[in-house]
Copies of this chain bind each other. A is one copy, B any other.
């Protein structure tokens, strides 16, 4: 009985979160009405309010889910040691997410662009620690002479920006691709381009 109730809740919450991620990505926080999310989730407005009492609460729930996704993409930093393997895995993972789950990236970008007014310290600190670990790894590679000396943060930003561009700016990418979304083949070429420029850029052979 309690289990049944829970599963109803779980199903509705997941449904709402997914719909919210899409609508927030398309219209931004201020631009989306709770009614839009309810419609996308095929639920009455009040039902959404039952699970998330305010719009801000729902929005933050979406954001919290995203940091987990970013972290999963970077597991290769712990799994491997060779910079060639780590970075090419990381780039591919992030590009895959840009293709299969572009909405999340857009919501995140939106929030940061506006100065992260909804991202409390609850997310600042984890993000900071997580990024510093990655920078430390890059610094080790440099000190060991395994890659050319570059600013570790600058390298990370190039990877983030170049991969997330295919999600965040998908409209512009499509426009410049003769008003067509990238095909699988074109997307694979984009992965290759980012990978080869980054790797060669720090002195590795792709």
Contacts and interface: CB of A to CB of B under 8 A. Distances in A.
A189 B151 contact: yes
Interface string A120-162: 0000100110011000000000000000101101110110111
A25 B173 CA distance: 22
Interface string A172-206: 11011100000000000110111011111111000
A203 B201 contact: no
Contacts of A124: 175
A154 B26 contact: no
Nearest to A156: B176
Chain A: interface secondary structure?
A: helix
A67 B153 CA distance: 29
A110 interface: yes
Interface residues of A, number: 55
A29 B31 contact: yes
A164 interface: yes
A160 B165 contact: yes
B109 A109 contact: yes
A11 interface: no
A112 interface: yes
Interface centre among A106, A116, A196 (most CB of B within 10 A): A196
A21 interface: no
A79 interface: no
21 contacts: A28-B29, A28-B31, A28-B110, A31-B31, A109-B109, A112-B171, A112-B172, A113-B169, A116-B171, A116-B172, A127-B172, A128-B175, A150-B193, A153-B177, A154-B193, A154-B194, A154-B197, A155-B197, A158-B165, A198-B201, A199-B201
**Closest 8 A/B residue pairs (Cβ):** A197-B201, A30-B31, A154-B193, A201-B201, A161-B161, A161-B165, A30-B30, A151-B193
